[in-house]
Structure 1
Amino acid sequence: MKPVALAVAFACLAMATADSLAQQADINAEGLTAQVVVTATRGEKAIDKIPGAIAVISQQDLSSQYLIADDPSQALATFIPGYAPSRQKMTSTGESLRGRQPLILLDGIPQSNPLRAGMREGYFADSFIIERIEVINGASAVQGMGATGGIINYITKSPRTSGTTYGVNVRASTQFRSDNLDWKTGYSIAHKSDAFDFLGYAAVQRRGMGYDAKGRRLGIDTVQGDTLDTHGDDLFFKIGKTFGAQRLQLSLNRFNLEGDGDYMNDPGILAEGVPTSSLPGTPVGMAARNKVRSASLDYRHADLAGGSFSAQLFSHDFESLYGATQVATFQDTRIAPRGTLWDQSQIIADKLGARVTFVRPDTLVTGLEATFGVDFLRDQTEQRLALTERTWVPLLKFSSTAPFAQLEYEYGPITVRGGVRHENAKLRVDTYTTLAAYGSRLVQGGSAQFSESVKNVGAIWRFAPAWSAFVASSEGFGLPDAGLVLRGVATPGQSVSSLISLQPIVTRNNEIGVNWRAAKGQFGISRYDSRSRLGSVIRINSAGVGLVERVPTTVKGWEVSGEWRPTKPLSISGSYARTDGKTAAAQGAPMDISLGARSQGPTKAVLAANWKPLPTSQLRLQATHLFNRDINIGRVVGTSKLEEHFKGYTLVDAAATFDTSHGKFGVSIENLLDKQYVGYYSQAAAATDRGNTFAGRGRTLAASWSRMF
C-alpha cells in the first residue's frame, strides 16, 4: 500500500488503542458514552446492539461538508468508506455503495427508482433540511426492494426548542470568474408547543459554471444532467402533534433542479489529454431537470399492547428530463432523415406505499423482542421521448406486498437477531412497440411474478467495555433495470412474461467486524463478502448503448474507520476502504472480470482533523486519496471493451465556522491545493468519449451565514 494508506491505517489503529487504559477509568466512572440511536432498522435501536456495519453522519459533519460543497453524494463519499467518488453532476451514474446500488430514503420514503434507474436520485431535497444520514452497509431487505448495496436514509430536521423561531441561511461560492458564482438562500420557521410542532423551509438556489485548476471552464453534461448552470428551489413542510403516547405527523417536500441552458458541451482532445469543456450557447431542446414531490403521513403509538406501533403512508412523484441528443437510438426515418432527428428522454415514476411496524419487547420471555410488519408498494414508471412523444419504455406497473418478522434476543452482553421478509411482487406491462432503432418490434404484454423470501441473521457480542464484535448475514431483494431490458428488445416474437432478464436479484452479504466506541473515540473494522448468483451488469457496446447482462457478481472488501479525541477541542478521524468486485463474461464462465467504474469505486482513504480553538469556532481539514486502478486489460465481451485505467489523486479541503451574536459564519476552500484532475468515472468508464471526460473543480472559496431569530 502507498504511504498515505499506511498512514490512514496506522492512524485508525492508534485511535482505538492510544488511550485505552485511560478510557477504562472514564467508562467505569461515567458509564458508556451516549449511545447513537438509528431508525433505519424499522425501530429505534442503539447502534451497539445492531449486528452489522452501521454509520451515522451527524448534523455537525454534514454542516462542514455542505459548506465545502453543496453536493449530497460528495458528503457520502467523504464519510462513508464504501461509497464511490462523486461525479459532481446531476447524474449519479457510477456512485455506488460497496459495488452495488443503495436504496435511498428520505424519512423512510423511497427516492430510488429501480424499475428504470435513470441515476438521478442524488438530488431530491435541499441539504439544509437534513439533520443526519443513517447508512446500513451491505444488502438489506428491512426497508424493501432495491437495497442490494445498503440503505441510505436521510432524516429531516424537527423543532427542538419550545416557542417559535425564524431562521435565515445564505451560502455563496466562487472561483472569482464572471460566470461561476453559486448562491443559495433559505428561510425557515420552527414552532414547538404542547399543542403542535411545525417546521417550514423555503429555499432558492442558483449555480453558475465551474473551472478546473488550469482555469478552463468545466465540461457541462447537457444530456445526462449537470449541476453547472442550473437553478433550483425547495419547499419543505412538516407538522406534527403528540398526544400522550401517540403522535401524528404530516410532511411534504417539493424540490426542483433545472438547467439554465446557457452553455454547450465542448468536446476535449483525448490525444493531448485535454478534458471536456463548455462554450456559451443554447443547446437544442429543453434543459435537463429533476422534479420531486414527496408526501408522508406518519402515526406512532409508543405504548400499544405492550409494544410500539408505527404506520406510514407515503407518495413519491419523480420526473427527470434529459437533454436533447441525435443518438442513433432516437432515429426514425418515418419522422426525419437519418441523423437529423433530435429527441430527449424523460422518466416519470410515481409511487404509493404503506409501511406498518409493531415492535414488542419481552415477548413470551424476558429479553426477547419481536418485530412484525407488512409493506405495500405500487410503483408505476415509464420512459418517453419528450420531443416526439414516443414510448421508449412502456408503463411498468409494479406492485408488491411484503410481510416480515424478526426476533431479537438479548442475553447480557450478547444480542442475537434473525428475521425473514417475504416479497410477493408482480410486474405488469401492456403490449408495446419498440423504437425503430430496435426494429419496431411488437412485444406482447404480460406479467412477471416474483415470490422471494429474504433472510437475515446476526449476533453482536459486547465482550469488553466499549468493545464489540459482530457477525451477520443478510439478503437484499431487487430487480434488474426492467426498463433498460424492455426498451432494447430487438428479437421478434418476444413477450414480457418470457423475458428471463426480468428475474429478480437476490444478494447475500456476509460480514464480520469489530468496533470500539468510547468517550475519546471510536474504531471499526469489517470484512464483507457480497454475492448474487443472478446479478445485473450493464455493459456499453460499440454503439454506445447500455445492455443488461444477467451474470453472477461477487463483491468483497475491507473497511476501516476511526476517530480519536485526544483532547476535548481536537479530534482526528480516518477511513480506508478497498472494494473488489468480480463478474463473468456469461453464465457458467469464470469469475475473472473486474467490475468497472459504472459499478464500483476505487480504493479510497480519508484523513481529517477537527479543532475547536474556541467554544464558538471550529476548523476542519480533510484529505481524500483515491488509488490507481487498472483492470480488465485487453478484455472484450461481445463488442463491449472492458479495459479501464484510473490514475489516482489526492484532494484537500478546509472549512471553518464561527458563532457570533450576529449569527453563524462559515468559510471553506474546496480543493485547497488547486489539484488538476479528471474524475474517477470520466477517467475509467468514459476515457474514450470526448464529450464526457470531465475535470473536477479547482480551488473554490465558499462563505455562509445563518441566524435564528
Structure 2
Amino acid sequence: MTFARLLSGASLFAFGAAVPAFAQEEDDPVFLGDIVIQAVRTGATESAIPGTVQVVEAEQILERVRRGQSLSRALSDLVPGLAPANGTIGGASQTLRGRTTQILIDGVARTSELRGFDRELSVLDPNSIERIEIVKGSTARFGNGATGGIINIVTKKPSDEPQTTVETRLSGQSGSGSISNELFLSHDQRIGDWGLRFELSRSETGLSYDGAGNRLPSDPLVGQGGGDNVERYTFGVAANWAQGPHELEIRLDAYRLEQEIDFFTDYTANPVRVTDRRYTGRPVEDQGASANITYRYDGTALGDLEITAFVTDVDRRAALAEPGPANTLYYTISPTDPRQDPLSQSELFTSTYGLSLTMRTPLTGLDPDATLTWGLDLGRDEVEQKTLDGRDLLAPMTQDSVAIFAQADIPIGPRLDLSAGLRAERFSLSVSDFTRPAAAQLTRTGVDILAPVDVIGGDFDYDAIVGNLGLVYELSPALSLYGGFSQGFSLPDVGAFTRRAVAQPGQPNVSFASIRPEAQIVDTWELGLRYNTDRLSIDSSVYLSTSDEGVVFDSATNEITQQEERIWGAEFSLDYDIRDDWSAGAELAYIEGRLDSDGDGDMDAWLPNNRIPTPFTATLYTDRSFANGLNLSGEIVFSAERDRPGRPQLEDMVRVNVGGSYPVGPGRVTFGVTNLFDRQQENSAASSVRVNPLTNDAVRVADEGRRFSLGYSVSF
C-alpha cells in the first residue's frame, strides 16, 4: 500500500471527523498561561529559551497509549528529531538528533550514563505523567549524557481535592495469545498542609504479530528483550507540603518488570523470526527503586533556593542470545571449550546518588527581570555487570562528580533577551581490576577463541568546561526569532570498552589507561522561529552539531570507535485550532550526518544507521470533539527510507492510527486501532541496531501489525 493511498484514507477519516453529529456552540479559547520548563533549571518559560523546547502534555500521551501504543512510540510520533521506537522494552537506536538522550524523571536520572542499558520509557506507567519536556541540542544542565538533548518526565503531583482514578485497558491483535491488559489506580488526598498521591499499576502483554500475521520474536535485538510476554508492576507515592515561603516535594517509586521468553530467535531470517528451539536462559528482568526530595525556599537574601537529593537502585537482566551472525562475540564454557556458557547471561547493577543546589538570584541592577541561576551538583555512580554465576563482565566502576554552574538571563531592551552560561565539571572515575572471561569471536572462516584477559584499572579524572550563549528577539507579540550556541559533555559507555578488552599479542593483560575512551564535547549551533497566537503555534529550526570525539558502535565487528563527526538537520512543528472543537497539526524533521572514518580531516563516510535510522519523519494529526461528548482523533506517521553508501538500506515505515473516547456512566470508554491498514513493513529503528557481518546487511526486524484497544477510565 503506497503512502499516497494511506494519506488519502487518513484524509477521508479526518473529513468524516470534521462533520459534527450535533450542532455545537463555540466558546472562547482558554489561555492556560506559560509553563515553566523544569528541564532548563532557570525558571524560564518556553518562549524565553533560545533553543528548541517542546512540551508534551499528559493527555497527548494518554490519547496514543489508549490506542495501543507504547510510551516510547507515542513520544517518537510527537517529537520531531526523536528516532522511531524500536518496538521493544529498550531504547536502542532511539536517538535524539542523532545523539544520546538524557532521560530524567522529575529532573533526576534513574540510571548511570557509564553503562548504557536504556529501559526508562518501559518501566514507567504513562498515567503517572503530568507532562514531558524535551530540550533539544547538546546541553550540560544536568551533567553527563545529554549530547542530543534532555527528555524530562514530570510526574503528577497530589491534587488539591480528594480524588480516586481507575483506568483499565485491553488490547490485542488477530493472532492467538495476543491479548494485553493494563490496570492503573491512583488516589489523591490532603491532610492539613500535606498533599498525598498513591499510584499502583499492573500490565501484562501478550504475543505480538507483524502485518503478515507472523509472530514477532520475544528477543528481536540480540539480548535486549522484546515487547511481548512482559509483566510489569509499579508503585509510587508523591507528597508535597507548603507553608509560607517553604515548599517540600517527595517522590518514592518502585517497579518490577519481567519478560518470559519461550523460544530463541533466528537472526538470519529476513525479517528475524521465532525458532522452534526452546529458550534456555532466565527471564529478562528489570527492577528498581528510587527516592527524591526537593526543598524550596523563596525568602533568602540571594533569591529563590532549591535543593534536591536523590538515590536510585536498579538491577537489569538481559536475554540470553545464541551465538550467530548477529551475536558474534559470546562467552565460552572455558578457553578450550568453544560452546556458549549457559550462565553467561548478563545482569547489570547500578546505584546513583546525587545532591543539587540551585539558587535564582535577581539582577535588578541590570534589569527588573534579569536573573542569575547558579549552583552546585554532586553525584556518585556505582556500576557492576556480572554473569549469572557472579563473574564480572566489565570492570566494576565508581564515579564521583562535582560541578558548579551559572546561567544568566538578561533582557536587553524591550524586545531582546540574552541567555549565557558556563558549567565546570570534574568526574573522578575509579576502575577496579578484573578478568574478562574467556570469549569466542565468530568470523567468516570459523571461531577465534579469546583467552581470559586481566584488565588493570586505576583512578582517572575527566574535566570539562562547557558553555552556552543565545538570544531571543521579539519581532512582534506573536513572532520571535531565536538562535544560539550550546555545548554538551558526555563520557561514552565506559563499561563497554572494558567488556570488549583484548590484550595485544604476547601481553598477559591490558591497562584501562590504554583503552579508555575520550570525553566527548558536542557543539550545537541553532537558529529558529516561533509563532504563537490563541489558535496557531509554529516552531521551526535548523541546527548543526559537531564533535571531535563522536562515538560509533560497529555491531558487525563489536568495536567502539571515536572520530570527528558532523550532524545537521531541520525541524518544524505546527498546531492549529481550526475551531474550538477541532484541531490539526504536523511534526516534521530532517536529519543527516557524516564522520571522518580515517582521521584525515575529511568527512568521508555517513553515520551508521544505529545513529540515524531515518533521515526524514512526519506526523500529521487531527482531533475532533462533538456535542454529545464523542472525541475522535487520527494520525499518519511516516519514516523515510535511508539509503547511504556503505550502510544497509532501510525501508520506509508508515502507520495510520485512529482512536477516540465516549462518556459512559461516570467515566469514559476509550478505543483505538494502531497500524490501521495492517501494513507489513520493517521497523527502521529496530533494523538499524545490528549488521550481519557475513552479508553486511541489516538484521531486519518487522514492525507490529494492526492492534485494537478498548478501555475505560473514571475519576471520582
TM-score normalised over the length of structure 1: 0.90
| Structure-1 separation of matches of 2:263 and 2:334 | 31
| Structure-2 separation of matches of 1:655 and 1:439 | 56
User: SS in structure 2 opposite 1:483?
Assistant: helix
Q: State the shift of 1:133 in Å.
A: 0.3
Q: State the shift of 1:326 in Å.
A: 4.3
User: SS in structure 2 opposite 1:502?
Assistant: coil
Task: Give the counterpart of 1:468 among 474, 480, 490.
Answer: 480
In structure 2, the partner of 1:215 is 213
Partner amino acid, structure 2, of 1:450: Y
| Structure-2 separation of matches of 1:73 and 1:627 | 19
| Larger CA deviation: 514-523 vs 501-510 | 501-510
In structure 1, the partner of 2:684 is 680
In structure 2, the partner of 1:406 is 407
User: SS in structure 2 opposite 1:99?
Assistant: coil
Q: State the shift of 1:676 in Å.
A: 0.8
Partner amino acid, structure 1, of 2:382: Q
Task: Give the counterpart of 2:600 among 581, 588, 611.
Answer: 588
In structure 2, the partner of 1:520 is 535
Q: State the shift of 1:333 in Å.
A: 4.8
| Structure-1 separation of matches of 2:199 and 2:495 | 35
For the 8 Å contact 1:196–1:242, the answer to whether it is kept is yes
In structure 1, the partner of 2:591 is 579
Q: State the shift of 1:430 in Å.
A: 1.7
Q: How does 1:193-212 map to 2 (within 5 A)?
A: 194-212=192-210
* Gap regions ≥5 residues in structure 1: 12-28, 636-642
Distance verdict in 2 for CA 1:568–1:266, change over 3 Å: same
Partner amino acid, structure 2, of 1:292: G
In structure 2, the partner of 1:630 is 643
Q: Does 1:443 align with 2:474?
A: no
Q: Does 1:704 align with 2:711?
A: yes
In structure 2, the partner of 1:396 is 397
User: SS in structure 1 opposite 2:685?
Assistant: helix
In structure 2, the partner of 1:245 is 245
| Structure-1 separation of matches of 2:520 and 2:595 | 14
Q: State the shift of 1:424 in Å.
A: 1.0
| Larger CA deviation: 583-592 vs 314-323 | 583-592
In structure 2, the partner of 1:433 is 435
Q: Deviations over 1:628-657 (max 9, x none)?
A: 21012xx3xxxxxxx210121321001102
| Structure-1 separation of matches of 2:153 and 2:337 | 47
Partner amino acid, structure 1, of 2:644: I
In structure 2, the partner of 1:379 is 381
Partner amino acid, structure 1, of 2:542: R
Q: Does 1:496 align with 2:512?
A: yes
In structure 2, the partner of 1:23 is none
Q: State the shift of 1:591 in Å.
A: 1.0
| Structure-2 separation of matches of 1:66 and 1:3 | 24
Q: State the shift of 1:340 in Å.
A: 4.3
In structure 1, the partner of 2:339 is 339
Distance verdict in 2 for CA 1:49–1:436, change over 3 Å: same
For the 8 Å contact 1:448–1:502, the answer to whether it is kept is no
Q: Deviations over 1:71-125 (max 9, x none)?
A: 1211221111000011110122111000001100011110343211123333231
User: SS in structure 2 opposite 1:317?
Assistant: strand
User: SS in structure 2 opposite 1:34?
Assistant: coil
In structure 1, the partner of 2:184 is 186
Q: Deviations over 1:492-535 (max 9, x none)?
A: 45322343x42211111110000101101101110000111111
Distance verdict in 2 for CA 1:193–1:43, change over 3 Å: farther
Q: How does 1:5-24 map to 2 (within 5 A)?
A: none
| Structure-2 separation of matches of 1:391 and 1:567 | 61
Q: Deviations over 1:567-606 (max 9, x none)?
A: 1111111011111111121323521211122112311111
Task: Give the counterpart of 2:169 among 168, 171, 174.
Answer: 171
Q: Deviations over 1:663-683 (max 9, x none)?
A: 121000001111111110344
| Larger CA deviation: 56-65 vs 606-615 | 606-615
For the 8 Å contact 2:545–2:568, the answer to whether it is kept is yes
Q: Deviations over 1:448-469 (max 9, x none)?
A: 2111101011010111021111
Identity of aligned residues (%): 24
Q: State the shift of 1:334 in Å.
A: 3.2
User: SS in structure 1 opposite 2:265?
Assistant: strand
| Structure-1 separation of matches of 2:665 and 2:470 | 50
In structure 1, the partner of 2:254 is 254
Distance verdict in 2 for CA 1:89–1:468, change over 3 Å: same
For the 8 Å contact 1:562–1:573, the answer to whether it is kept is yes
Q: Does 1:285 align with 2:300?
A: no
User: SS in structure 1 opposite 2:553?
Assistant: strand
Q: State the shift of 1:266 in Å.
A: 4.6
Partner amino acid, structure 2, of 1:214: A
User: SS in structure 1 opposite 2:526?
Assistant: strand
User: SS in structure 2 opposite 1:533?
Assistant: strand
Q: Does 1:607 align with 2:611?
A: no
Task: Give the counterpart of 1:541 among 536, 551, 556.
Answer: 556
For the 8 Å contact 1:246–1:302, the answer to whether it is kept is yes
| Structure-2 separation of matches of 1:144 and 1:682 | 29
Q: How does 1:454-465 map to 2 (within 5 A)?
A: 454-465=466-477
User: SS in structure 2 opposite 1:123?
Assistant: coil
Q: State the shift of 1:308 in Å.
A: 1.2
Q: State the shift of 1:157 in Å.
A: 0.7
Distance verdict in 2 for CA 1:485–1:340, change over 3 Å: closer
Q: Deviations over 1:420-468 (max 9, x none)?
A: 0001111111222222234322222212211110101101011102111
In structure 1, the partner of 2:60 is 61
In structure 2, the partner of 1:89 is 88
Q: How does 1:345-364 map to 2 (within 5 A)?
A: 345-364=346-365
| Structure-2 separation of matches of 1:250 and 1:127 | 19
For the 8 Å contact 1:645–1:684, the answer to whether it is kept is no
Partner amino acid, structure 2, of 1:90: I
For the 8 Å contact 2:427–2:463, the answer to whether it is kept is yes
Q: Deviations over 1:48-77 (max 9, x none)?
A: 011100000011211111112341211221
Distance verdict in 2 for CA 1:615–1:293, change over 3 Å: farther
Q: State the shift of 1:36 in Å.
A: 3.2
User: SS in structure 1 opposite 2:321?
Assistant: coil
| Larger CA deviation: 295-304 vs 550-559 | 295-304
Partner amino acid, structure 2, of 1:525: S
Task: Give the counterpart of 1:567 among 569, 579, 590.
Answer: 579
* Gap regions ≥5 residues in structure 2: 12-27, 440-449
User: SS in structure 2 opposite 1:213?
Assistant: coil
Task: Give the counterpart of 1:308 among 304, 310, 313.
Answer: 304
| Structure-2 separation of matches of 1:609 and 1:303 | 46
| Larger CA deviation: 66-75 vs 469-478 | 66-75
| Structure-2 separation of matches of 1:70 and 1:624 | 12
Q: Deviations over 1:365-411 (max 9, x none)?
A: 3232111111111001121112x321111111111000101111013
For the 8 Å contact 1:109–1:316, the answer to whether it is kept is no
User: SS in structure 2 opposite 1:380?
Assistant: strand
For the 8 Å contact 2:68–2:707, the answer to whether it is kept is no
In structure 2, the partner of 1:657 is 661
User: SS in structure 2 opposite 1:77?
Assistant: helix
| Structure-2 separation of matches of 1:333 and 1:384 | 15
| Structure-1 separation of matches of 2:164 and 2:476 | 46
For the 8 Å contact 2:76–2:84, the answer to whether it is kept is yes
Q: State the shift of 1:561 in Å.
A: 0.9
| Structure-2 separation of matches of 1:120 and 1:692 | 21
